[in-house]
C-alpha cells in the first residue's frame, strides 16, 4: 500500500477558463452539461451551456460551478433550459429512436419510416449528432454490424446474421460488414469489437469502450485528440468500434453514478488497459492510492522500483486511458502543485475536492 501524503487542496471549485466556457455556450456544447452554469446579468437568469436562448454578449455573463452558487448570486432558473433538472435526459426523439432500434434490431428505419413515425429526419440527424457524434442512420448501421458480429462469433450461420440485420442481399451485408470490421463475415469467427457507451457525469460526458476482456478506455469526450486516441486503440487491438453495451459498460456507468454521488470510491470493474510493462505497473500503483489523498510522481517511481524516474512516471500517468477508475488525478507534484491533466486541470481539482470531502465526512472531520 502506498503511504500517501495529504497535500492541501484548495476548497474553491475550479472551472474551465471563461473563454472556453463562453465558446461552449456559443456552440451549445453538450459536453459541458453539468460542468458549469451561465448567469446572464441583463436578465437575471442562469442557464445550461446548451440553452437555446439567444446568446448573450460575453461581457454580460458570469459562470458558476453549481446551481447553488448561481442561486446564491441572485439568479433564477431559465424557463427554457430548466437548469434545476441536474442531468438532462436525451431529447425525446433520441430516446424514442434508440428504443425502436433496440426493440427491433432487424428493422432498418429509413427517412421515409421516420417521417411516418412523425419524426423529422433532419431533426433526428441533428439531435443524434449532438448526443452521440454520429447521425441516426450511422448509429443504426454501426449497431446492426455490432449485433451481426456477436451472432457470427456465437456460431450463427452468416445468412441468419444477414437476415437478422435486415439485409436482403448477401453482397450488401458482406460489404457493410467488411467496411466496418475489415474482413468478410466468414472470417470473423474470432473477431472482437470495442463497444462504445456515452456516460453523462457532473463533469461532462465520458466515452467508455470495452470488449470481452474488460474496460479499455474511459475518457472525457471533449479532451483534445480524443478521436485519434480511439483510432490508435482500435488499430492496436485490430478491431472496430461500434455502439453497444455489455456487463462491463453497464457496471461502469452504475459505479460512476455512485462515485459522483459520493456513495462509493472503490471500483469493482474488469479492466483491460493496453500499455507497456512499465505503464501497467504505474497504473496498478495508481489504484493503490487511497481516496482523499494524493501522491507525488517521485513516490510512484519508488513504488514501482524506479527511483528517480519521475518523468517516466509522468509520461505513463499521462498515457492512462481509463480516467477516474485508474486515478491518475491523484498524482501531483512533490511541492503539492496540481499540474496537467488530459481532461483539464479544473477537472482534476474537482475530482480531488470530491474525494477529499467524502473522506473528511467518513472520518467525521467535515
Tell me which residues are annotated as active site: 328
**Contact yes or no for 198/132 (Cβ under 8 A):** yes
Closest CA to 15 of 30, 37, 31: 37
Residues 185 and 73: their CA atoms lie apart, in Å, by 60
Q: Which of 138, 141, 97, 143 is nearest to 120 (CA)?
A: 97
Of 205, 209, 198, the residue nearest 30 (C-alpha): 205
Q: What is the DSSP letter of 209?
A: E
Using CA atoms in the order 259, 262, 263, 265, what is the torsion angle rounded to 10 degrees? 50
CA distances from 116 to 98, 107, 110, 121, 144 (A): 16, 14, 10, 10, 22
Tell which residue, 335, 309, 342, 323, has the closest CA to residue 5: 335
Describe the crossing of helices 310-318 and 277-286 by its angle, rounded to 10 degrees. 80
Gap between the Cα atoms of 316 and 307, Å rounded? 15
Amino acid at each position: 500500500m502506498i503511504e500517501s501524503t495529504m497535500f492541501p487542496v484548495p476548497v474553491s471549485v475550479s472551472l474551465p477558463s471563461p473563454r472556453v466556457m463562453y465558446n461552449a455556450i456559443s456552440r451549445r456544447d453538450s459536453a459541458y452539461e453539468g460542468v458549469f452554469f451561465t448567469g446572464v446579468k441583463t436578465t437575471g437568469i442562469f442557464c445550461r451551456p446548451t440553452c437555446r436562448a439567444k446568446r448573450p454578449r460575453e461581457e454580460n455573463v458570469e459562470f458558476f460551478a453549481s446551481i447553488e452558487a448561481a442561486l446564491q448570486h441572485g439568479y433564477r432558473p431559465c424557463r427554457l433550459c430548466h437548469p434545476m433538472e441536474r442531468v438532462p435526459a436525451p431529447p425525446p426523439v433520441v430516446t424514442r429512436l434508440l428504443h425502436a432500434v433496440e426493440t427491433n434490431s432487424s428493422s432498418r428505419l429509413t427517412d421515409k419510416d421516420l417521417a411516418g413515425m412523425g419524426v423529422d429526419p433532419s431533426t433526428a440527424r441533428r439531435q443524434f449528432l449532438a448526443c452521440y457524434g454520429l447521425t441516426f442512420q450511422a448509429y443504426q448501421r454501426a449497431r446492426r454490424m455490432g449485433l451481426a458480429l456477436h451472432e457470427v462469433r456465437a456460431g450463427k450461420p452468416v445468412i441468419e446474421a444477414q437476415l437478422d440485420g435486415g439485409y436482403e442481399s448477401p453482397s450488401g451485408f458482406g460489404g457493410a460488414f467488411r467496411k466496418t470490421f475489415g474482413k468478410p463475415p466468414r472470417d470473423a469467427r474470432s473477431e472482437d469489437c470495442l463497444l462504445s457507451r456515452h456516460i453523462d457525469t457532473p463533469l461532462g460526458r465520458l466515452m467508455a469502450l470495452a470488449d470481452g476482456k474488460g474496460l479499455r478506455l474511459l475518457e472525457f469526450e471533449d479532451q483534445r485528440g480524443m478521436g485519434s486516441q480511439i483510432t490508435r486503440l482500435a488499430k492496436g487491438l485490430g478491431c472496430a468500434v461500434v455502439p453497444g453495451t455489455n456487463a462491463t459498460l453497464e457496471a461502469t456507468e452504475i459505479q460512476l453514478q455512485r462515485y459522483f454521488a459520493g456513495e462509493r470510491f472503490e471500483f469493482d470493474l474488469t479492466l483491460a488497459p493496453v500499455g507497456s510493462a512499465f505503464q501497467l505497473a504505474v497504473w496498478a500503483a495508481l489504484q493503490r492510492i487511497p481516496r482523499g489523498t494524493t501522491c507525488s510522481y517521485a513516490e510512484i517511481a519508488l513504488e514501482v522500483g524506479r527511483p528517480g524516474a519521475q518523468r517516466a512516471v509522468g509520461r505513463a500517468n499521462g498515457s492512462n486511458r481509463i480516467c477516474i477508475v485508474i486515478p491518475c488525478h491523484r498524482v501531483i507534484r512533490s511541492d503539492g502543485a496540481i499540474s496537467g491533466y488530459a481532461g483539464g486541470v479544473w477537472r482534476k481539482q474537482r475530482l480531488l475536492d470530491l474525494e477529499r470531502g467524502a473522506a473528511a465526512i467518513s472520518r467525521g472531520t467535515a
